Structure formats: structure tokens, C-alpha cells
């Protein structure tokens, strides 16, 4: 073989190795706290709350709980509700839901019940050992679904 071919092959090998070395690893979950909790770090909780507080999930002592998605709905046609997410000492999120049914002298007016569907970019973190709770005031029978993942602090 002549030297030109050898230099060409060497250049191709060197450029290929530089290309492979420059590729980044793919990540399935948001960067930040390391996702953990054995093989299934994801969770979802749901239910209905009305004029009360309900404890939803307690973060293990060696884990954070990160809420990534919140869905709140109500079926009442005439109601005003405030829904709060908390950890026992701090309000972590507050949401308003409304629906009105007004019967006037000449006509009736009704609004559709409002809902919340939100995906957080960074999530709401629940500290290790803390309990996430949901509370509702207004007696509006609010249905909720929360999802997220466990992470290393």
C-alpha cells in the first residue's frame, strides 16, 4: 500500500473516533435530581376532594418526590373552589376553579366548569420525609390526578 492510502485511512479512523466521542448520552428524565426508586420511579395519585384536606403521598426518607403533572376538574355547575397542594408547612401550589349558573329575569346564563391541566417544566419538589397533601375549599367535589417521579436529593 502506498502512504497516501494509509494516511487517508488513518484520517477516516481518527475523525470517526472524534465523532463518536463527541456524542452525548440520552436522558429519559429531566436533568437535576437523579431519578431513582428501583425500577419504577414514576407514580400517579388521584381521587376527589371536597371542603377537606387529604394526604396523598409521603416522600421516603432517602428520596424526593417531584410532581410533574396536575389535572383538576369539577362537575358542579355553580361553584367556586380553591385547591392547594402543600407539604404540611408550605403551600406549594394554589389553583382556582369556577362555574356559574345565573338565572335572571329574562334569560339564564351558565358557564362550563373550569379545569386545570398543567405540566411543570421543573416540577414541584416534596422534601424527603414530607407528606404531600391536597385541600379544597368551596365544597365543589374537585377530582384530581397528580403524577411525577421519585428522585435522589
CATH number at 85 reads 2.60.120
- 103 lies in a domain? yes
For residue 66, is pLDDT > 90? Answer: yes
Check residue 129 and give its pLDDT. 92
Number of structural domains found in the chain: 1
For residue 147, is pLDDT > 60? Answer: yes
Helix (H, G, I), strand (E, B) or coil at 2: coil
Quickly state the pLDDT bin for 28 (edges 50, 70, 90). Answer: low
Paired strand residues for 136: 83
- 87 lies in a domain? yes
Check residue 15 and give its pLDDT. 76
Q: How many CB atoms lie within 10 A of CB 121?
A: 6
- 143 lies in a domain? yes
C-alpha 132/C-alpha 69 separation (Å) is 14
For residue 29, is pLDDT > 90? Answer: no
For residue 35, is pLDDT > 70? Answer: no
Assessment of whether the complete model's pTM goes beyond 0.75: no
Residue 77 structural domain: 29-151
C-alpha 137/C-alpha 81 separation (Å) is 6
Cell of 30: 429531566
- 12 lies in a domain? no
Amino acid at each position: 500500500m502506498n502512504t497516501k492510502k494509509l494516511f487517508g485511512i488513518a484520517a477516516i479512523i481518527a475523525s470517526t473516533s472524534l465523532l463518536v466521542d463527541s456524542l452525548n448520552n440520552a436522558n429519559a428524565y429531566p436533568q437535576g435530581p437523579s431519578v431513582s426508586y428501583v425500577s419504577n420511579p414514576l407514580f400517579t395519585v388521584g381521587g376527589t376532594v371536597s371542603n377537606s384536606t387529604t394526604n396523598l403521598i409521603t416522600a421516603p426518607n432517602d428520596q424526593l418526590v417531584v410532581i410533574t403533572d396536575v389535572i383538576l376538574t369539577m362537575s358542579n355547575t355553580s361553584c367556586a373552589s380553591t385547591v392547594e397542594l402543600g407539604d404540611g408547612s408550605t403551600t406549594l401550589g394554589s389553583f382556582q376553579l369556577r362555574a356559574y349558573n345565573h338565572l335572571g329575569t329574562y334569560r339564564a346564563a351558565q358557564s362550563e366548569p373550569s379545569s386545570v391541566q398543567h405540566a411543570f417544566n421543573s416540577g414541584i419538589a416534596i422534601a424527603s420525609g414530607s407528606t404531600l397533601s391536597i385541600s379544597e375549599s368551596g365544597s365543589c367535589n374537585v377530582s384530581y390526578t397528580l403524577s411525577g417521579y421519585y428522585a435522589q436529593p
